Amino acid sequence: MIITFTIKEYPELFTVSDYKQILRDVKEHFNSECSIHGISVMYTRVYYNPELNQGVVDYEFTNFEGRAYIAEMDVAIPNDYLTIIFD
């Protein structure tokens, strides 16, 4: 299954380190939110296209058939503070 996300404040410039941090933080947030709801995650893969400001979380649950509600999250990067919204 997939869930999409965007960054509320459209980032113009990122370093490779910023991209890696966002992907890591989104994955951790997704897994944490699922854990709060009692959902076991088999795998989670996160992708982000900065040109389109669109990201995708590819995942599979082991004990749940529907979609999980994932709350928006805030990420602090060295020169900015970003809000990530899940669709």
For 75, the domain range is 2-86
Total domain count for the chain? 1
Q: Which of 44-48, 65-69, 76-80, 83-87 has the lowest mean pLDDT?
A: 76-80
The pTM for the full model equals 0.89
Residue 69 clears pLDDT 90, i.e. is over it: no
Rounded to whole angstroms, the Cα distance separating 68 from 65 reads 9
Residue 78 clears pLDDT 80, i.e. is over it: no
Mean local confidence (pLDDT), 54-67: 91
CA angle 82, 22, 15 (to 5 degrees): 90
Rounded to whole angstroms, the Cα distance separating 1 from 19 reads 22
